[in-house]
Amino acid sequence: MGPLEILLVIILALLIFGPDKLPEIASKMGNVYRNLTKATNELTKTINTEISLEKELKVKPATEPPQTESQSKENAKIEPLPITSQSTEPPENITIEEDKEPETVGTESDKESNG
């Protein structure tokens, strides 16, 4: 925009909004422009940072060489536990009482009122 066009816009704004509102409008437009510039700079900085981090990750060599398929299979082998007994009966040192009634659970006050 040339100086003549800027002068024309100022004159039109003065006629439309009046001399009282023009400073307020100019101040608000300045704040909007400042905030827009700040947001644009932050976005540009963030994008540049992300791009540089990606480049660094691609350039750095891996600290450990990748495992081959046979090495990963060897690391993943799980030995099954040996089965010592095929019997389905309980061991000899455990006794099972079949004719015993289950005990009821309650508070002392419940026992006294029922008793």
Separation of alpha carbons 101 and 93, rounded Å: 22
Residue 102: which H helix or E strand, with range? none
Instruction: Note whether residue 39 is domain-resident.
Output: yes
Instruction: Note whether residue 28 is domain-resident.
Output: yes
**pLDDT tens, 93-108?**
666 666 656 555 556 5
Domain count, the chain: 1
Q: Can you give the pTM of this predicted structure? A: 0.41
**pLDDT tens, 60-95?**
655 655 666 666 666 666 666 666 656 566 556 666
Instruction: Note whether residue 48 is domain-resident.
Output: yes
**pLDDT tens, 5-29?**
988 988 898 899 888 898 898 899 9
Instruction: Note whether residue 107 is domain-resident.
Output: no
Domain interval for residue 37: 20-60
Instruction: Note whether residue 40 is domain-resident.
Output: yes
Position 38, amino acid: K
- Reduced to 3 states (helix: H, G, I; strand: E, B; else coil), residue 33 is helix
